């Protein structure tokens, strides 16, 4: 069975997604809704932000990223049969969301040449992007390899909005009010910078308030520009990432591994702390901006559910094993190489795997994660 023969997101899921998002938007206004009424509402565009879990081709267009592995196969092999800049063998969760809304895959902001390229929205996410700006890391003696933060992505969005509707502020607000905004997981790279530059878990935990404050500022600015429906993804379970498990495998005792998933509990506590603070921020924003629907997508639970019961979700029995690796051992990860590099190899059945390259997910996993979000299984407030 080949991955690209798997069925597309069904019409039923598309309808459910419309219903969930429309109901959330109407609930923010205190208006009752019905399924029939919800189906009449369409989002004219989707604008997405984030890092490599959401990037559909911006990183590979940066001058500083001429040699990143996302530029070449086996990235993109399953669905596109070529490298597109996506950090996966195929589609990402944002691709499945666009498909469910019956919209084309989003054009990466750095790939567009005219307003017509963005008539269905745009993707501003960049692989390696951080929530905090470069100064945050410089003050701590750390270095970010990608010069893009949430502030950068916001500046790009405002430039594009001006380009799409330069005639009036009212026209710009009509665009933002009729669009779905997807803010992908942000902050993961901030923490990974600390881990891969030999900083402690305790130091990484001190990053949480700064990261959630950056997300708060970003969302506040989006709302100020007229956004009415925003889907915000939480932090993934970092302690379930094969490269992180390989990095820390000699420094954690057996009791630190979760019996159900095999993930590192102490590392996941960081993600849980992040998500507690993030959901608190979202609650505050909901109270302050009652006319905007702010929907939380529980990325953490979506992934840990798969890790705990991989076969239930259609995967093989090794959810913490990277498909594209070469390190052997319990995680098939080689820390000195990346997928597509010398000494690595890709598995023959990526649809059986959750992790693509030890950090990012396979198309099959992205499909399951996206479906869980679209069907409302991992979204709050509950509809």
Which CATH number goes with the domain that contains 155?
3.40.50
235 part of a folded domain? yes
312 part of a folded domain? no
352 part of a folded domain? no
Domain count, the chain: 1
Query: According to the model, what pLDDT value does residue 169 have?
Result: 86
Question: Is residue 30 over pLDDT 50?
Answer: no
What tokens does 305 get? 């559910």
Averaged over 27-31, what is the pLDDT? 45
Averaged over 332-336, what is the pLDDT? 93
Q: How far apart are CA 108 and CA 117, in angstroms?
A: 9
Question: Is residue 373 over pLDDT 70?
Answer: yes
344 part of a folded domain? no
Is 24 within 8 Å of 287 (Cβ atoms)? no
Question: Is residue 44 over pLDDT 50?
Answer: yes
pLDDT band at 65 (very low <50, low <70, confident <90, very high): confident
Is 125 within 8 Å of 56 (Cβ atoms)? yes
- Which residues participate in catalysis according to the annotation? 52, 357, 360
Averaged over 91-95, what is the pLDDT? 97
Residues of the chain with pLDDT > 90, as a percent, come to: 79
Question: Is residue 317 over pLDDT 50?
Answer: yes
Averaged over 7-36, what is the pLDDT? 45
pLDDT band at 20 (very low <50, low <70, confident <90, very high): low
177 part of a folded domain? yes
Residues of the chain with pLDDT > 70, as a percent, come to: 89
If we measure between CA atoms, which residue out of 89, 97, 86 comes closest to residue 47?
97
- Average pLDDT over the chain reads 89
316 part of a folded domain? no
Residue 190's domain comprises 41-304+375-380
Query: According to the model, what pLDDT value does residue 383 have?
Result: 38
122 part of a folded domain? yes
The predicted model scores a pTM of: 0.90
Query: According to the model, what pLDDT value does residue 252 have?
Result: 79
What tokens does 258 get? 């979760």
How many CB atoms within 10 Å of residue 336? 8
Averaged over 7-20, what is the pLDDT? 47
Question: Is residue 365 over pLDDT 80?
Answer: yes
83 part of a folded domain? yes
């Amino acid at each position: 069975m080949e991955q690209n023969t798997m069925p597309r997101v069904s019409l039923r899921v598309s309808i459910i997604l419309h219903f969930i998002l429309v109901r959330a938007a109407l609930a923010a206004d205190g208006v009752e809704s019905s399924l029939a009424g919800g189906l009449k509402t369409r989002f004219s565009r989707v604008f997405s932000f984030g890092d490599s879990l959401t990037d559909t081709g911006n990183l590979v267009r940066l001058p500083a990223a001429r040699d990143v592995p996302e530029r070449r196969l086996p990235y993109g092999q399953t669905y596109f049969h070529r490298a597109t800049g996506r950090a996966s063998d195929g589609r990402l969760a944002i691709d499945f969301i666009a498909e469910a809304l019956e919209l084309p895959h989003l054009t990466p902001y750095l790939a567009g040449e005219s307003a017509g390229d963005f008539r269905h929205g745009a993707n501003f996410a960049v692989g390696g992007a951080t929530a905090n700006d470069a100064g945050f890391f410089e003050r701590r003696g750390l270095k970010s390899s990608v010069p893009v933060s949430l502030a950068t992505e916001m500046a790009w969005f405002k430039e594009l909005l001006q380009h799409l509707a330069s005639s009036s502020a009212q026209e710009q607000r009509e665009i933002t009010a009729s669009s779905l905004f997807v803010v992908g997981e942000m902050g993961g790279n901030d923490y990974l910078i600390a881990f891969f530059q030999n900083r402690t878990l305790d130091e990484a935990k001190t990053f949480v308030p700064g990261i959630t404050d950056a997300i708060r500022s970003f969302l506040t600015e989006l709302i100020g520009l007229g956004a009415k429906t925003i889907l915000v993804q939480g932090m993934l379970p970092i302690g379930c990432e094969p490269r992180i498990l390989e990095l820390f495998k000699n420094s954690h005792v057996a009791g630190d591994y979760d019996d159900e998933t095999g993930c590192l509990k102490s590392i996941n506590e960081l993600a849980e702390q992040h998500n507690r603070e993030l959901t608190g921020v979202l609650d505050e924003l909901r109270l302050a901006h009652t006319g905007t629907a702010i929907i939380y997508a529980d990325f953490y639970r979506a992934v840990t559910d798969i890790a705990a019961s991989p076969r239930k979700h259609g995967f093989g029995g090794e959810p913490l094993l990277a498909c594209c690796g070469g390190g052997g051992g319990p995680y098939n990860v080689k820390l000195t190489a990346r997928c597509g590099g010398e000494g690595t190899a890709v598995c023959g059945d990526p649809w059986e795997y959750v992790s693509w390259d030890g950090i990012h997910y396979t198309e099959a996993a992205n499909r399951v994660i996206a479906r869980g979000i679209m069907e409302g299984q991992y979204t709050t407030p509950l509809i």
